[in-house]
């Protein structure tokens, strides 16, 4: 065979032999790459999960008054909550909600999600879904500045707000609140009454289960925290008055 033709054939066949060699090496290289990649992802996720536990622990001493949050049994990123409203147009409202965090929570712009299971007529809450409009209040979620306590403070704020010009979730409720306050108050009174009736309708999967006795205890504890800075200085009459208020929930 002509040497030139032989070299040409050898060059043509060489890539095929190289491919076979690469095929024996590729699985190991691919495995090594994916193992490193998976390890890095698992490490990052573990760090995010750890930050969630730290934030929840922080809530025990820094949660806004009247707001309670309980983690789900089998999901680190799912919580059941309730808020007791003591002043303002939503006075005596008892509103249940669920708070959900995405797996990427603690990355930039990974907002928490809060949806009320109680009916809430509020300009900051989508009427049909019950979802709290967090993104309008915090267009950019910064994990170095925003935490669970941030969103729970905003949740409480919407029930004590005196104006709703910046609210976007429920346009009808915003219009009534600004132009027809009497009609808005009627709607609010109806949702407060409904929240009280619904409070003992417990979801079987929820970790926030309430009985009448337990609810009275929680309300009494909330009243004591809000109104008595020094328990030793409280008179018997003041304590009895708060017990009566808690019993009338």
The answer to whether 187 touches 170, Cβ cutoff 8 Å, is no
**pLDDT at residue number 236:** 55
Q: pTM for this one? A: 0.69
**pLDDT at residue number 112:** 98
- Using alpha carbons, list the distances in angstroms from residue 113 to 125, 135, 148: 12, 9, 11
**pLDDT at residue number 28:** 44
Distance of CA 228 to the CA centre of its chain: 30
Please list the pLDDT of the chain residue by residue as tens digits (249 residues): 544 444 444 444 444 444 434 434 344 444 454 555 687 888 888 888 899 999 999 998 899 999 999 999 888 899 999 999 999 999 999 999 999 999 999 999 999 999 999 999 999 999 999 999 999 999 999 999 999 999 999 999 999 999 999 999 999 999 999 999 999 999 999 999 999 988 776 666 655 555 555 555 555 566 555 666 655 555 656 555 655 555 555
**pLDDT at residue number 35:** 59
Long-range contacts of residues 214-217, Cβ cutoff 8 Å, at least 24 apart: 215/94, 215/249, 216/246, 216/247, 216/249, 217/246
Most distant CA pair in the chain, distance: 116
The answer to whether 138 touches 168, Cβ cutoff 8 Å, is no
| Segment (H or E) for 67 | strand 67-71
The answer to whether 15 touches 23, Cβ cutoff 8 Å, is no
């Amino acid at each position: 065979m002509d040497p030139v033709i032989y070299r040409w054939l050898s060059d043509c066949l060489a890539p095929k032999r190289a491919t076979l060699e690469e095929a024996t090496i590729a699985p190991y290289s691919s495995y090594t790459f994916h193992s490193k990649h998976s390890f890095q992802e698992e490490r990052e996720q573990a760090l995010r999960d750890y930050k969630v536990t730290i934030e929840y622990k922080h809530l025990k001493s820094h949660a806004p008054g009247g707001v309670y949050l309980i983690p789900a049994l089998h999901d680190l990123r799912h919580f059941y909550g309730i808020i007791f409203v003591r002043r303002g147009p939503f006075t005596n409202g008892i509103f249940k909600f669920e708070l959900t965090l995405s797996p990427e929570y603690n990355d930039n712009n990974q907002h928490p999600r809060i949806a009320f299971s109680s009916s809430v007529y509020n300009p900051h809450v989508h009427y049909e879904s019950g979802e709290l409009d967090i993104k309008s209040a915090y267009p950019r979620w910064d994990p170095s500045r925003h935490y669970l306590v941030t969103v729970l403070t905003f949740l409480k704020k919407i029930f004590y707000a005196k104006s709703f010009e910046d609210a976007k979730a429920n346009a009808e409720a915003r219009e009534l609140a600004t132009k027809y306050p009497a009609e808005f108050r009627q709607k609010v009174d109806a949702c407060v009454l409904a929240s009280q009736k619904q409070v003992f309708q417990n979801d079987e999967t929820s970790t926030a289960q309430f009985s009448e006795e337990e609810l009275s205890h929680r309300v009494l504890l909330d009243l004591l925290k809000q109104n008595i800075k020094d328990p030793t200085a409280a008179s018997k009459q003041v304590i009895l008055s708060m017990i009566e208020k808690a019993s009338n929930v």
